[in-house]
Amino acid sequence: MQNETNTAEDRPPGVIAKAPWRLEDVAPLPGYQLRVRFMDGVEGLIDMSGLVFSDEAGVFASLRDPAVFEQVYIELGAATWPGEIDLAPDAMYEEIKLRGKWAPE
């Protein structure tokens, strides 16, 4: 899993680096899944397969290429891919905290 650098110059003004819903670690898994860990230690899985292969995938369609999907990294606490594609961590945090898994649509 990759770690995010939390330097002052890496954050826009007013961003709280240690917000519990910010990602601390992310790792790609087979089947278009991500294993994630948040700043407060909550861990879980994100199943991106439905979103990536949906008719409304939009920018996420580029993640159909496994080589691109595997390039996931953390930027400002969010799962991010080349091309300015990202997932807002606050949108997934509560679901993962409750169920251990989140599947965006």
CA torsion sign, 48 to 28 to 2 to 96? positive
Q: What average pLDDT does this structure show over 43-61?
A: 95
Strand order in the sheet with 78-81: 73-75, 78-81, 85-87
Flag whether 5 is in a domain: no
Rg (CA), the chain: 13
Whether 1 is covered by a domain: the verdict is no
pLDDT in tens, 25-46: 999 999 999 999 999 999 999 9
Domain presence at residue 24: yes
Q: 60 Cβ partners below 8 Å, 6+ apart?
A: 48, 51, 52, 85
Domain that holds residue 47: 19-102
Query: Which pLDDT score is estimated for 18?
Result: 74
pLDDT at 6 over 70: no
Residue 90 included in any domain? yes
Give the pair of three-digit tokens for residue 1.
């899993």
Task: Answer whether residue 5 shows pLDDT above 80.
Answer: no
Query: What CATH number did the domain enclosing 24 receive?
Result: 3.30.2020.10
CB count in 10 Å sphere of residue 24: 22
